[in-house]
């Protein structure tokens, strides 16, 4: 019964968080991505023209990858992806919140405490990793994907575990352990690309740099809203359903 309640809470919280994220992205994030894609196309055209000059023909369509068409199809696929991602986050948040309430004797979850948990999720999954690896726009180079994924995952785990231990444990040493876990990934350092704007003209590189600043703010705001919605819904759900077992 408890497992079923956790799943239902996570599904509802994830649905609300994913829809909120999609709404904010539609007005704040997508226009920046569209502008960056237009700048990226200039790089592709230059590369394609150079290849044509040397080989006498272009291979632009040899390795086309499927992607949703612009417009309604892209909006729907983005929304679906956001909802599924938010449900995954919500499952984690609900499970940890329930464990803290039941197993560690913490105060029962509420809307306010859910917002705090949501803020913790935002810090672990967005804020802390962004200190080393910024959200990447189309056309902006990055370090090797495997290296970035490993560092991002390690940072999320260290930050999340540190925050969870600081909240649940009762010993004063929890602050020392949490501080170490929070700092270690940044002492190691995130992998960085040698040239973020390789292949672009100086003018395009400047425009991409300006867009990157706005993109960081827009993605940060949208992520924060998603996590707060997930956290608030999680707090309300756990407060309501777990109260029946009290």
pLDDT of amino acid 166 = 87
Which whole number is the average pLDDT over 123-139? 92
First to last CA, the chain: 14
Residue 142 CB: number of other CB atoms within 10 A? 14
Where do we find the tokens 């904010």? 24
In terms of phi and psi (left: phi > 0; alpha: psi -120 to 50; beta: otherwise), the region of 107 is beta
pLDDT of amino acid 45 = 47
Return the percent helix, strand and coil in the chain, to nearest 5. 75, 0, 25
Query: Does the pLDDT of residue 55 top 60, yes or no?
Result: no
pLDDT of amino acid 184 = 95
Mean pLDDT of all residues in the chain?
A: 83
Which whole number is the average pLDDT over 8-33? 93
For the chain, helix (H) and strand (E) counts, in that order, are: 8, 0
Please report, for residues 105, 153, 154, 189, the alpha-carbon distance to residue 128 in angstroms, rounded to integers and kept in the order given: 28, 11, 11, 12
Three-state SS annotation for 130-189: HCCCCCCCCCCCCCCHHHHHHHHHHHHHHHHHHHHHHHHCCCCCHHHHHHHHHHHHHHHC
Q: Using the Cα atoms of residue 93, residue 97, residue 100 and residue 103 in order, give the sign of their dihedral.
A: negative
Give ∠ CA 146-28-42 in degrees, rounded to 5: 60
pLDDT of amino acid 56 = 43
CA dihedral 16, 22, 24, 27 (to 10 degrees): -150
The percent of residues in the chain predicted with pLDDT above 90, rounded, is: 45
Q: How far apart are CA 128 and CA 126, in angstroms?
A: 6
Out of 28-37, 168-177, 180-189, which region has the weakest mean confidence (pLDDT)? 168-177
pLDDT in tens, 177-216: 889 999 999 999 999 887 787 777 888 888 888 898 999 9
Indicate the pLDDT class of residue 88, thresholds 50, 70 and 90. very high
């Amino acid at each position: 019964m408890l497992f079923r309640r956790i799943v239902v809470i996570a599904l509802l919280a994830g649905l609300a968080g994913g829809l909120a994220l999609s709404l904010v992205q539609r007005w704040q994030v997508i226009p920046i991505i569209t502008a960056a894609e237009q700048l990226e196309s200039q790089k592709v055209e230059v590369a394609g023209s150079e290849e044509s000059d040397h080989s006498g023909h272009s291979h632009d369509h040899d390795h086309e990858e499927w992607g949703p068409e612009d417009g309604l199809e892209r909006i729907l696929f983005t929304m679906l992806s956001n909802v599924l991602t938010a449900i995954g986050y919500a499952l984690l948040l609900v499970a940890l919140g329930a464990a803290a309430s039941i197993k560690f004797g913490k105060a029962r979850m509420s809307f306010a405490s859910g917002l705090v948990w949501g803020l913790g999720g935002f810090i672990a999954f967005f804020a802390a990793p962004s200190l080393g690896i910024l959200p990447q726009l189309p056309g902006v180079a990055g370090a090797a994907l495997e290296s970035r994924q490993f560092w991002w995952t390690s940072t999320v785990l260290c930050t999340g575990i540190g925050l969870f231990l600081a909240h649940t444990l009762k010993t004063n040493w929890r602050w020392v352990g949490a501080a170490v876990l929070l700092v270690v990934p940044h002492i190691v350092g995130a992998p960085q690309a040698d040239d973020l704007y390789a292949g672009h003209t100086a003018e395009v590189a400047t425009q991409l740099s300006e867009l990157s600043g706005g993109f960081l703010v827009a993605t940060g705001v949208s992520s924060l809203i998603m996590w707060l919605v997930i956290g608030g819904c999680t707090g309300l759900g756990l407060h309501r359903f777990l109260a029946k077992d009290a």
